[in-house]
Amino acid sequence: MEINVFNREKDCFQQEKVYGQKMINWLYGTKTGLLASSLLCGQRVSKLYGLIQDSQLLSQHKIKKFIKDFDIKMSEFEPEEGGSKDQPFSSFNKFFVRKFKKGERAFPSRTADMGSFAEGRYFGFESVGPQVKVPVKGKYLDPVSIISNEKWSNYFLDGPLVIGRLCPTDYHRFHFPDGGKVLDFYTISGELHSVNPLAIKQKKDVFLKNERHVTILETENFGKLAYVEVGAMMVGKIVQSFEGKSFSRGQEKGYFLFGGSTVIVIGEKGKWRPSSDIVNFSKEGIEVFLKLGNVIAQNA
């Protein structure tokens, strides 16, 4: 299965290079793979894999080949603190959570514009209720089930929703799209299935079954947001690096250790709407690639 994404900056379609493509195809494209996925998508397997990626001995040698295979522009990133010119990262996980150099990415200065909270591929919808079944068949975009908390779910009925999918090749830190304060935070335990489009096509309830971290935000320009980090296959851990209650636009919120994953942001009805190109491409089942901080939505 080919994954074609529209790159807004380059104004063209690009075929995604998928890390672990053969494994994904087997797990979610064959009967034997689907049986095995229930074993491989548990917490213990992912934690063990995360420990391997933390090991200098077992993982450092993979970094250079990964950079070459996926054409990662390392000039944009800071080395690990204490890293040398020859060995800027002590393990694959340290490389995986690399930080951008200061000034490499910027969030919108216009307060009416929402910046993208992660660097990745986006779907966006102006209004999502319990019966919405996009972009593939299955009721996995139901905001009530995604948030899974009666205290907050009603705030987000029929509101806008954007999904940012991060591949293993991407920058894996996620940020606040606007300034504001944290109202609540909780975790929802679950499985760790892949968020690759092929996996989602076969297992339609991924966003309802996978582990999730949910933060309810009160923002300065976009009302309340439900900010949901979704764990995925071989994600060693979701780390919340942010501390405190108040935050600023573009500030780092946290990061994913090794593995592709997803961030979902849900808003209140009528407060904001995703950018028109994202909405239009989403209707066709096509994701839009955005750099961190690119405009993703506008307030209403």
- Mean pLDDT for the stretch of residues 71-89: 89
Residues 6+ apart with CB under 8 A from 19: 70, 167, 168, 169, 260
Neighbour-count burial of 242, counting CB atoms closer than 10 A to its CB (0-12 exposed, 13-18 middle, 19+ buried) = middle
Question: How do strand 288-290 and strand 4-7 relate by DSSP bridges?
Answer: parallel
Confidence of residue 137 (pLDDT cuts 50, 70, 90): very low
pLDDT band at 262 (very low <50, low <70, confident <90, very high): confident
Q: Is the pLDDT of residue 253 over 60?
A: yes
Report pLDDT for 162.
95
Q: How many CA atoms lie within 13 A of 178 on its CB side?
A: 27
Q: What is the mean pLDDT of residues 199-223?
A: 77
pLDDT tens digit sequence for 4-48: 899 999 999 998 876 555 655 555 566 675 555 555 555 555 566
pLDDT at 218 over 50: yes
Distance CA 159, CA 269 (A): 4
| The pLDDT of residue 132 is above 70 | no
Would you state the pLDDT for residue 215?
98
Q: What is the pLDDT of residue 208?
A: 59
Whether the pLDDT of residue 79 is over 80: the answer is: yes
